A and B are shown apart, each in its own frame.
Chain A
């Protein structure tokens, strides 16, 4: 059985994941475990089952077919993931698609085929493919194969990464085929980083410094980005620390990503708890003032926005 990464989704016509019109490949699996993750279904490497309450028509075909007795309307998350054997008979039987399989194995050629269809749009708009997820470096060899295939078709590639990978492997297998990198810098304080993201940040920061140096020496463009999460990353302390880090390493361009609260229901869909389900600040769009004050800190440090 192949140990290759699973694919969550291939989203076409994305205007927000890099320049031009792009297709985004979402890998399943991530070495981090951020508390605010907007795609919680991308954290685990293995397949999962998702239930969208809004699409359910109550026909009970799933309950009828389930051999493990894992499905019940009494259950808070509809499916008891402990009992579920992941046989996916229910997702097959579901007429509306409320039950769906999360994470599919796809061959490199398969993925490429889906993407190549949109190449004419990439060409006209200066777009291409964005590798995201989860974490696209979750299986560096596989991703490398995919990148080689896409490159051979003349498609530009942007890698969106959390930065937690082996730098040698990355330089060897990913870097030669990439055209641009988006690199997440979330939290500067190491113990906070471990607390909120599951791992310490020293490897991440090291990797960033290395890649940014490469860029300064003629390598591919890398843009660090910080998701603004209310009360966690958007604090003055964190933003200032990040700005200082950039200044120290000669980073001239960086981005801040606005917070959007539309992820809350996603946890329930895959049967996990949402630690912020009753957090008021987390439920709202970030305020203009907040965002502006964060941006100001960067601007004052001489950092430009792309």
Chain B
């Protein structure tokens, strides 16, 4: 008997109204067409109770509504109940998004076409939605000002005033510092660089714009020359196809030299541009093309032309995105379905692969011409039948030729600008720039200006091929120091030297701005999952050199000075500290820069990191040369194909599944194995329960790694990366692209969220249930299932009577290590597509907030939908003594954490203390932590009042950066949930 009800009729009516709009109005109908022809797809709508089943079909320019969902529907929106369906007509698209995230609406199928459908809706409902949104936003800002606003204007000043005082130092303890007499460069402030000051402010007042240049040029080429097959019907060798398209892009890309810039080139023509990668994330904003400029979080401007261009471009890519490729080849596998629910795991690989550090040293020092020669030599050694290798190598060459064409265009542009330039100094600068671009990156750089331009132009090339997410330049202080020394040695007079140092500082300030002008695409869903995250260009300073000596040098301190002056979220600055080698002067400077900027650079303990890296390499020089990728991921620069942020799992999901015999409450899905039921008293000992948890975790990881490998396979076909491959060692010798495992080292990095929450929950079960027998497993579960509302006594007990990770308790640390070990061994039992290992990280981006919002209450006392702790940071209530936190984190075994961790600390500065005393205290914490074997530590040095004020008055805090979990973000760009989470984090006074 049919379960259909009145909702079904209403849905039918709604869809028919939409269909008729498109069928009758020519202004709407034109959107049904693209350069390839009609955009054809169908979307189904149903409820899980079977009360509703409808479908809308876009076919050859006509829109039809069906009463059944066809078998070949491209996508389906499933509503978990009638109530949910009723909701959606009343709410804004963001709120619908929330329902999707909460698994109240399940999306299945081709996500690009779902986005297209959203776009079509926005064409009709756009204005109404916008009005609703504006109303909501106004209300929210009003509430915020009321609740969080402080009437003290001096709060905004407190942070600005930190720049006013700067410590001095000498370089006696730093053998690598050859020229700086005061390595802290305390004599300089932003005021000494008026150009930078102006451009810096302009940057923060510029709204990012969606740029269609890249996808337009690429899609244009593919449309003309074919994607799967060429014009003769022959299948393209993917690397060659990519290389030709790439060359076309680079030859036709607008060569831009930004005003006053000593560095040539930009990633896009717009002042601040959001770069689009239509084969991965691009189509995710299809539905927002009409609204992205007015959304609450991170709005981006978009011209009508760009929106129309992208609509046309996306139609080409709808079936060519990584997710679709997998869905098609593997018949919508279980692992994909799990991933799309985003609760138990989320695979970043479908978003991008980029996390890597290319071999910049070779590019800058030897020039791309020498790479081309190397490729030629290699090609000569290959037999004619080795076509795959020959094609791969050829494609690398073609890409480098494209780069050279771009550099030549920049050179011409510089001359054109020089002609027009009225200011003589600038005209000469442009003429010099023109000469520089004639030389680099093709030939070796001979001085700092050439080196930085070589780097940047090459970088633009990199961003043109690869998603600008976590592409990282690595150890810039090591790379540029030789040029600094070379240039300085030519100068003899003191004022010449001082001017040169000033010039280098300014040059890198310009680099920071250039780098911030390309931003990554953030679809609204990412605002919630990856709050405030951005290109994550990680730069790594300090540590030791491959020969084991102190790596801290002049450039280390210059880059720290630039970091202090600019206080920007990107590049993501990281600093290595080698206990016993790096000086106290250096470490104290790291603390001071953190204090002034509120939260950068993040710091890493070389001993722990290098210990963990032994699992990837046994070459001690490579190990010593490690750098960070993206957030914090441990990478060997130039040699490691290490998609370092490939995939994440929600460790708490495994816990919920173990408590519910394989069923996950929020997902309403029995996806995991049956490992025992609490209600049936199946757990007689703690080990029984731990085993159940292990099984669930192993299941999640197995699915997760499978999906990761499928996505990697998709990349190898859809978007191999010959340009990048030309700058990663191993690929030329092996004749294999990076995506196919051509690099010397191959790994896939994971990040695993919820370690402290899981550990604390397991401790509750072990101590209260099984050892002290204060409560039964059943009673605990009942309390958890009721979100502790039915049993405040149990809630109080679990919160107060059980030692947590971070409390200094040995058992809790042992438990944390045991859980980390479980994750580690589970991942290591799988191989990646590129035949490498998975590496294990415990940092969380913003996933601790996202996964937390999708997880229920757990035995540790955390209530439903609350965030987890970031990275592996102990719970704020673990101990009143911060030192317990530090010691416990330092006691984690680095072997289990070879993709690094994030340990967050919020310090509240004491206004009564002198700068020197504050820094000394910070330094004591940090030094002791690293001496104890700690791996990573990151700070937010700001008090709650300031953060609350920033929530209420964001306009006064445009560049207040905070550390989330491995990366920096501008506080005002974060969701309110994330902002509150940071405020609630354990606060320690200094």
Contact of A120 with B801 at beta-carbon distance under 8 Å, contacts A11-B880, A13-B883, A96-B796 already known? no
**Among the listed A55, A117, A121, which residue makes an inter-chain contact with B924, where contact means beta carbons less than 8 Å apart?**
A121
Q: Is the CB of B932 within 8 A of A120?
A: yes
Per-residue interface assignment for chain B, residues 175 to 213, with 1 indicating a CB less than 8 Å from any chain A CB and 0 otherwise: 000000000000000000000000000000000000000
Asked if B990 and A59 sit within 8 Å, CB to CB, the answer is no
Contact of B796 among A95, A123, A124 (CB under 8 A): A95
A117 with B887: CB separation less than 8 A: yes
Write out the residue numbers on chain A whose beta carbons fall within 8 Å of the beta carbon of B883.
12-13, 21, 117-118, 121
Beta-carbon contacts under 8 Å, B751-798 to A? 792-797
User: Is A97 on the interface with B (CB-CB < 8 A)?
Assistant: yes
**Chain B residue at minimum C-beta to C-beta distance from A56:** B796
Is A15 located at the chain interface by the 8 A CB criterion? Answer: yes
Minimum CB–CB distance from B389 to chain A (whole Å) comes to: 54
Q: How far is the CB of B607 from chain A (nearest CB, A)?
A: 14
* Distance to closest chain B CB from A287 (angstroms): 16
Instruction: Assess the B884–A125 pair: CB atoms within 8 A.
Output: no
At the interface, yes or no: A20 with Cβ under 8 Å from chain B?
A: yes
**Contacting residues, chain A, for B796 (C-beta < 8 A):** 55, 57, 59, 95-97
Bound-state Cα–Cα, A253 to B486, Å: 53
Please indicate the chain B residues that have their CB under 8 angstroms from the CB of A96 in the complex: 793, 796-797, 799-800
CA distance A13 to B924 in the complex (A): 11
- The smallest beta-carbon distance between B583 and chain A, in angstroms, is 14
8 Å CB contact of B801 from A57, A97, A127: A97
Question: Across the interface, do B884 and A61 meet the contact criterion of CB distance under 8 Å?
Answer: no
Residue from the list B792, B793, B910, B988 in contact with A13, Cβ < 8 A: B988
A58, A123, A125: the one contacting B921 at CB < 8 Å is A125
B882 close to A (CB within 8 Å):
yes
**CA–CA, A120 and B929, complex, Å:** 9
Closest to B921 in A: A15
Q: Given A11-B880, A12-B883 in contact, is the A95-B793 Cβ separation under 8 Å?
A: yes
State whether B794 touches A95 (Cβ < 8 A). Answer: yes
Bits for A1-39, please: 1 = Cβ < 8 Å to B, else 0.
000000000011101000011000000000000000000
A124 engages B928 (CB within 8 Å): yes
Q: Which residues of B contact A11 (CB under 8 A)?
A: 880-881
Q: Is A15 touching B989 in the complex (CB atoms < 8 A)?
A: yes
Contact A57 B792 (CB under 8 A): yes
Is B882 touching A13 in the complex (CB atoms < 8 A)?
Answer: yes
Q: Are A59 and B792 in contact (CB under 8 A)?
A: yes
* Residue B927 is within 8 A (CB to CB) of chain A in the complex: yes
Q: A12-B884, A95-B800 in contact; A120/B793 too (CB < 8 A)? A: no
- Closest-by-CB residue of A relative to B798 is A95
Q: How far is the CA of A172 from the CA of B237 in the complex (A)?
A: 89
**B808 in contact (CB, < 8 A):** yes
Cα–Cα distance between A11 and B883 once the two chains are bound (Å): 11
A95 to B797, CA, bound (A): 5
Check A124 against B924 for contact (C-beta < 8 Å): yes
B927 touches A124 (CB 8 A): yes
Closest to B884 in A: A12
Report which of A55, A57, A95, A121 forms a contact with B928, defined as CB distance below 8 A: A121
Chain B residue with the shortest CB-CB distance to A58: B792
Chain A residues closer than 8 Å to B910, beta-carbon distance: 15
Partner of A12, one of B794, B881, B928, B931: B881
Give residues 45-79 of A contacting B (CB, 8 Å): 55, 57-59, 61
Do B797 and A120 touch (CB < 8 A)?
no
Tell me the smallest distance from the CB of B138 to a CB of chain A, in Å: 36
> Across the two chains, which residue of chain B brings its CB closest to A119?
B928
The interface residues of chain A lying within 8 Å CB-to-CB of B921 are: 15, 21, 125
Would you call B924 and A57 a contact (CB within 8 A)? no
The reply to whether A61 and B793 contact each other, CB–CB distance below 8 Å, is: yes
CA distance A15 to B796 in the complex (A): 30
**Whole-angstrom CA separation of A254 from B886 in the bound complex:** 34
Interface residues of A in 217-276 (CB under 8 A from B): none
Cβ–Cβ < 8 Å partners of A120 in chain B: 928, 931-932
CB distance from A78 to the nearest CB of B (A): 16
In the complex formed, the residue of B with least CB distance to A114 is B808
Task: Let me know if B230 is at the binding interface, CB within 8 A.
Answer: no
* Chain A residues, Cβ within 8 Å of B887: 117-118
Q: Does B920 contact A (CB under 8 A)?
A: yes
Measured between C-beta atoms, what is the minimum distance from B911 to chain A in Å?
13
Task: Report A-chain residues with C-beta under 8 Å of the C-beta of B920.
Answer: 125
Q: How far is the CA of A150 from the CA of B990 in the complex (A)?
A: 25
A57 to B791, CA, bound (A): 10
| B669 located at the interface, meaning its Cβ lies under 8 Å from any Cβ of chain A in the complex | no
Q: Return chain B residues, CB-CB under 8 Å to A61.
A: 793
- Also in contact, A15 and B990, with CB within 8 A (given A95-B797, A125-B920, A125-B921): yes
User: In the assembly, what is the distance between CA of A105 and CA of B80, in Å?
Assistant: 59
User: Once the chains bind, are B800 and A97 in contact (CB under 8 Å)?
Assistant: yes
Cβ-closest chain B residue relative to A125: B924
A89-116 CB contact bits vs B (8 Å, 1 = yes)? 0000001110000000000000000000
Report chain B residues within 8 Å CB of A21: 883, 921, 924-925
CB distance from A236 to the nearest CB of B (A): 24
Within the assembled complex, what's the spacing in Å between the Cα atoms of A95 and B808? 21
Q: Nearest-CB distance from A4 to chain B (Å)? A: 24
Closest-CB distance, B341 to chain A (whole angstroms): 36
**Shortest Cβ gap from B915 to chain A (Å):** 15
Complex contacts, A55 vs chain B, CB 8 Å: 796
Chain B, Cβ-Cβ closest to A59: B793
The reply to whether B794 and A121 contact each other, CB–CB distance below 8 Å, is no
Selected contact of A121 from candidates B800, B880, B925, CB within 8 Å: B925
> How far apart are the CA atoms of A117 and B885 in the complex, in Å?
12
Contacts of B989 in A (CB 8 A): 15
Most chain A Cβ neighbours within 10 Å, of B796, B800, B921, B927? B796
Chain A residues in contact with chain B, CB under 8 A?
11-13, 15, 20-21, 55, 57-59, 61, 95-97, 117-118, 120-121, 123-125, 127
Q: List 29 A-B contacts (CB under 8 A).
A: A12-B880, A12-B882, A12-B883, A12-B884, A15-B990, A21-B921, A21-B924, A58-B792, A59-B793, A61-B793, A95-B793, A95-B794, A96-B797, A96-B800, A117-B808, A117-B883, A117-B887, A118-B881, A118-B887, A120-B928, A121-B883, A121-B924, A121-B925, A123-B928, A124-B923, A124-B924, A124-B928, A125-B921, A125-B928
Closest 4 CB pairs of A and B: A12-B881, A125-B924, A96-B796, A95-B796
Residue ranges of B at the interface with A (Cβ–Cβ < 8 Å): 792-797, 799-801, 808, 880-884, 886-887, 910, 920-921, 923-925, 927-928, 931-932, 988-990
User: Known contacts A12-B882, A57-B793, A96-B800; can you find 17 more A-B pairs with CB under 8 A?
Assistant: A11-B880, A12-B880, A13-B882, A13-B883, A15-B990, A20-B924, A55-B796, A57-B796, A58-B792, A95-B796, A95-B800, A96-B793, A96-B799, A97-B800, A123-B928, A124-B923, A124-B928
